Amino acid sequence: MQHTSTPSERFTPRRGLRAGCALALAAGALLAGEAAAMEVKAFAIGDFVPSGSGGCGGGDRSSWPGMVDAWYDKMRDKGHTKDGQYNNGSQTIQRFCDPDWKSGCRDHDYLDEADAAMIATHGTDGGDHWGGTMRAPWGGHCRLDAGGSSDDMWVGDVDLEFIHLSSCFSADDDNLPGIRWAMTDPVDGGYAHQWDGFHGIMWISSGRNGDYRRFAKQGHSTSIAEAWVVNLYDNRVCKDGACHEQCPVAYSISTTETSALNRLRYERYNHVYSDPTGNNWYAYMYIEGCDPKSEGPFNP
C-alpha cells in the first residue's frame, strides 16, 4: 500500500533504507495526505478445544469473534479490503510464525500478509513477552510466543503495519522492551509500525462490540493509538465500590524518539507512514495507574 512520511522522515531522509522502503517513501511523499485502502485480516478464537481432545485448552469465550468482527466490518465500511477472517477452525501458530524461525510457518500467507490485523485469543504473560493460546497445537506448540526472548513471531518483513491484540497481557508494562522484537524479522529485515494490546486482563462481552467498531472508525479521524486507548479503556465492572479497569496500551517503534512519538501521535489508518527502519526506540500511550485484574497498576 502507499505510505505517507512521518514528519522527521519527510524532512530528514535516512540512509540505508531497503529498496522497498525507499520506493514506498518516495511514493508516500508524492501522495502525502492521501489515504489508501489496506488489506485487513481478523483472527479470533471463541471456541477453545480441551487438550484431551487434541486442542490447546482454554475456556470458551463465544463473544470474542463478534468483537473482532465489529472492527473488521467497520474497516470495510471505511473502504479497506476484507482479506481474510479466520474464526476458530485450524487456528495454530503456523498462521502467525515466520519461516525464518521454523520451517513450515506461514505468516507470509496470513498475519504478515495483511496491512492491519487483529488477533483475539486468551493471552498469558510469558515473563518478558506475550503468549497467545492457540486452538490446536502445531509443531509441538500450543502457544504463540511473541517478542522478548521468544522467536515465534517476526512480522513486518512482508507487509504488516498494524497489529491489534484483543488478548490479555498483550502489552504488559514489564514486557514493553520486548514487544519490538516481534515487530521485526531479524533475518529478512522490515518492521511493523504499531502494536496495540492490553496490560493485564481484558474483558469479553457481546456488549463490547461497539468499542471495537468505534476504534476502527475513530482510527481514521484521530491517531490509531488514541482511538485504541480511549475506546478500549473501561472502568465499569465494580464490586463493593472498587472498580476494575481494562487497560489498553498503544506501542510504536522507530530509530529515533521523535519518529516513534510522531507515529504514536499522528499515524492513522488513512494516513500511514513509511515503514520504520529500526526499533531501538519505542513509544507508548497508556492510562496512568490503570489497574486491571490479575496485574498491578501499569508502571513501565
For residue 233, the minimal CB distance to other proteins (Å) is 6
CB atoms within 10 A of CB 267: 23
The Cα–Cα gap between 224 and 69 comes to 18
Nearer of residues 158 and 298 to other proteins, judged by Cβ? 298
For residue 81, the minimal CB distance to other proteins (Å) is 17
For residue 227, the minimal CB distance to other proteins (Å) is 9
Nearer of residues 108 and 233 to other proteins, judged by Cβ? 233
For residue 271, the minimal CB distance to other proteins (Å) is 6
Nearer of residues 64 and 86 to other proteins, judged by Cβ? 64
For residue 145, the minimal CB distance to other proteins (Å) is 8
Nearer of residues 89 and 294 to other proteins, judged by Cβ? 294
DSSP 110: T
CB atoms within 10 A of CB 256: 17
Nearer of residues 24 and 202 to other proteins, judged by Cβ? 202
Are 257 and 278 contacting, i.e. CB atoms less than 8 angstroms apart?
A: no
User: Which pairing describes strands 39-44 and 81-87: parallel, antiparallel, or unpaired?
Assistant: parallel
Cell representation of residue 185: 524479522
Residue 164, H or E segment? strand 162-166
Burial bucket for residue 77 (CB in 10 Å: 0-12, 13-18, 19+): exposed
